[in-house]
Amino acid sequence: MAGSHSKVSCHDLSSTKSGSSRTQGLEPSIRSSGDDVPRITECATTARLIKRGKHVNASPKARLRNSLLGTLGFLELANAGDFAANVWNNVPVQTYVIVLMACGGTLALALTIPAIIDARRSWNNICFLREHRRRLRNEMRERLGDSLPCDDLDAIRDVLHRETGSECINRFGMNVVMGAGALIIGVGTLMAIWGANRSVWLASNILSGYLGNAPVALYGLVNSVWCFHLFRKARQHKRATAEQLRGHTVLDQLHRRFLSTQIYAVTSGLTTLLGGVGGMMTPTLWMGYVVLIPVIISSFACSFWWKKRLAYNRPFTGRTLGLEESSIILELEYIAKMQAKHEAGEGVDQFVNDPRCLVALLDFITENDMFEDLVISLAGDQAISDALFVSSPGPLNITKSSLLELPPKLHPAIVDGARACINTCSLQRFVYRERYLCDLLGSLISGNKDQGTIIEKT
């Protein structure tokens, strides 16, 4: 693993003898094991940081991020913000109704803030996915020109299609449509306070009525169609993998992933559809708000499920020419072993063959997509941060080499930071990688189903 850094010595900072300080760890990742296995995702050795004052953040468009805002599930509450304006739609407006209108309208307007914040986060993901699509398109053009197979690129593009659709519809579209609906409903509800004025009363009815709720209903229809597509794809992949991988150890990982996707697709599709129906009922029927009660609860549950069970972080894919089902299965088996180590309470000393060697730690971190996490954590150390940002206060690309080239007196802090990063971040990174690889394997097997190849149980 340290072959590419032969000029950099391993810094053993243990106070014990070298013979007793080294623990024989789990076998290294297949990417560093010497096996002829294509790289599925890029082994990111660069982190692009942006420093604003004392705060250091990663470039938002450098990777696909699981950045869904936790409060987004409450957007459906905006649909119910006009309760007082629609139920007590008469003049003169009673004092208690004015209080309820003020509370409901303010709540609806306040919910536009998380919608705007999350829309920006989602747009960063969309920009990343567009760049990834451009790279794949260029690579496919090259392969077709050289008469090379493109099965692996077709599978990656299939996953990319679902990632893009989910970001554009399930997330960005929801933020834009429901955020705009919350703004219209909020304004209309607050205007209803001055309902004694005929013109204001009429404008309030229009805004908090069908105009504010129609976009949400339209979105519910579009989202339900997309969720049906996600459900159908997950079912197709579940059937294909069950047939292709009969008795294989990774089948449980795959089917858990596909089942989670199906649960989300059904729940989200029904939630947004019923939310649209309930919203269109509220201008004239108070029973519409009864419909919205389970919709609001379900909406929050869907957001929680998406963030905790479906979404993931990932970098770009690398060169995958020759990628086969067996390559992904090897990675999934490796991930399962590492997760078992975590569940057993074992840490970095069992993950890395030389857990006090800076090069070995950095190799493990980059191979398992934790380099950005490490750099962000190291930037919190003032001495390391000053050394990293000595040249420029603006955007800076931090590489593995730049960490190794820092003054030797900083290496003990880097080693401690790397060990802490592995202990705290590795499990989540393995979970994210498992989710992406399950989707990729499902697409690859489904695309190659006509070949009728059966993978033997190992």
Indicate whether 328 pLDDT > 50: yes
> Torsion angle, CA of 357/358/360/365, rounded to 10 degrees?
140
Percent of the chain at pLDDT exceeding 70: 88
Q: Cβ atoms within 10 A of the Cβ of 427, count?
A: 15
Tell me phi and psi for residue 334, to 5 degrees.
-65, -45
Handedness of CA 24, 30, 35, 39 (dihedral sign): negative
Tens-place pLDDT, residues 399-441: 888 889 888 999 999 999 999 999 999 999 999 999 999 999 9
Cβ distance 216 to 425 under 8 Å?
A: no
Which of these ranges, 10-19, 109-118, 195-204, 330-339, has the smallest mean pLDDT? Answer: 10-19
What's the pLDDT at 255? 95
What is the token pair recorded at 291?
A: 């419909």
Q: List, in order, residues 6 or more apart from 255 with CB less than 8 Å away.
A: 238, 241, 242
| pTM score | 0.86
Indicate whether 120 pLDDT > 70: yes
The strand pair at 55-58 and 396-399 is best described as unpaired
Percent of the chain at pLDDT exceeding 90: 47
Mean pLDDT of 230-252: 94
What is the token pair recorded at 68?
A: 């869904």
pLDDT band, very low/low/confident/very high, at 391 (cuts 50, 70, 90): low
How buried is 382 (Cβ within 10 angstroms: 0-12 exposed, 13-18 middle, 19+ buried)?
exposed
What's the pLDDT at 74? 85
Tens-place pLDDT, residues 369-383: 999 999 988 888 888
Q: List, in order, residues 6 or more apart from 246 with CB less than 8 Å away.
A: 454, 457
- Which residue in this structure is represented by tokens 């919350």? 182
What's the pLDDT at 194? 86
Q: How many CA atoms lie within 13 A of 242 on its CB side?
A: 10
Q: Which DSSP category does 391 fall into?
A: S
What's the pLDDT at 102? 92
Phi-psi region of 102 (alpha: psi -120 to 50; beta: other; left: phi over 0): alpha
Tens-place pLDDT, residues 272-297: 999 989 888 887 788 888 888 999 99
Indicate whether 47 pLDDT > 90: no
